[in-house]
Amino acid sequence: MSILVDKNTRLLVQGITGNEGLFHTAQMAAYSNIIVGGVTPGKGGEWVLDGKIPVFDSVKTAKEATDANASIIFVPARFAPDAMFEAADAGIPLIVCITEGVVIHDMMRVRNYLDQKGARLIGPNCPGLLTPGEAKVGIIPGNIAIPGNVGVVSRSGTLTYEVLYAMKNLGMGASTCVGIGGDPVNGTNFTDVLEMFEHDPKTEKVIMIGEIGGNEEERAAEFIRAKMTKPVASFIAGQTAPPGKRMGHAGAIIEGGAGTAADKVKALEAAGVKVAKHPEEIPTLLR
C-alpha cells in the first residue's frame, strides 16, 4: 500500500525538454512506467526519450489527451508559480514542484489558489515522492529504498536519502517517502502526511525528519500525541546551528528564540516520539 503515488499514477512532466526535466524524466521512466506525457510551451507535437513520451503545449491539452492525474514541475523559479497555477486550472489533483528559489510572496498566492481548487501540492524545493517498487515522482534515487511498511516524511532531501539507505541496509522497507521541502510556505506539511500514513492500512510505522525553523514539528508533535496510533521515530537537523543564521533551507532559521532544535525535540519526546541523535540511528529506534 502507499499514499499519493503508486503504479496507477499517470504523470505529466512540466518542463520536460529542459536539461533538468529531461534528465530526471529518464530516471523516473527507467524506474516505473507512469509518465504519460510532458509539457513545454511551443514544443507541442515533439517526442522525447526516443519517441516514447509525447510533448504538449499546455497542461490542459496534455491532461485531455492522457488522462493524467499528477504533474511534476521542473522549470526555473520565475516560471514555477505559473506552472503550478496552470496544473491546478487543468484539474490535476496532485502537483509536485521540485523547483527551488520560488519567491515566498508568490507561494502565498499559489497556496491560496490551489486550496480553492482542491489540488494537493508537494513542495516547492523538495525531492518529491517515492513509493518503492511502484512509482518515483521526483529526484529521490530509486535504488536506495525497498518496499515495506514504514512511512517516511521529511523536510530534508539529503537526510531522506541517508535514512532510506540505512533502512535498506537493515532490511527495512518504505511504504511511501514524501519530501515536503524546506521552504517557509509549501503545499503539504508534516501533519498532512502523518494523517495520511495513520489512515494507510499498510503503513505500520512512521519516520519524520525535521529541522530547525518554524513550528511545523511542534504542530506535528501535537497531532501525534492526540491522533496517531502508530509508532513514530524522528530526527531534527540543525541542532548546532547558531541563532539568526539560515542553515540550508529558506525555512531553516531560528528567530527570536523560536524554532530551535531543543524545543522541537522536547515537543516530540513529550508526544511519545523516539528522537535520534544521529539520522542513521532512526531505523534502529523503530525495530
Q: What is the pLDDT along the chain (287 residues), one digit of tens a residue?
A: 589 999 999 999 999 999 999 999 999 999 999 999 999 999 999 999 999 999 999 999 999 999 999 999 999 999 999 999 999 999 999 999 999 999 999 999 999 999 999 999 999 999 999 999 999 999 999 999 999 999 999 998 889 999 999 999 999 999 999 999 999 999 999 999 999 999 999 999 999 999 988 899 999 999 999 999 999 999 998 766 666 555 555 554 544 445 789 999 999 999 999 999 998 899 889 88
pTM above 0.75?
A: yes
Matching CATH number, 11-122, of 1.10.3720.10, 3.40.1160.10, 3.40.50.150, 3.40.50.720:
3.40.50.720
Nearest to 52 by CA among 24, 67, 33: 33
- As annotated, the residues of the chain forming the CATH 3.40.50.261 domain(s) are 140-286
From the candidates 24, 105, 249, 278, give the one annotated as an active-site residue: 249
Q: Which amino acid is at 212?
A: I
Predicted pLDDT at 280: 87
- As annotated, the residues of the chain forming the CATH 3.40.50.720 domain(s) are 11-122
Q: Which residues of 226-242 are buried (b: 16+ CB within 10 A; e: fewer)?
A: eebebbbbbbbbbeebe
Fold of domain 140-286: Rossmann fold (3.40.50)
* CA separation for the pair 188, 114 (Å, rounded): 11
Residue 232, CA distances (Å) to 77, 187, 207, 216, 282 in order: 34, 22, 6, 16, 10
* CA separation for the pair 86, 32 (Å, rounded): 25
* CA separation for the pair 115, 132 (Å, rounded): 28
105 is a catalytic site residue: no
Predicted pLDDT at 256: 46
Question: Within 13 A of 194's CA, how many CA atoms are on the CB side?
Answer: 27
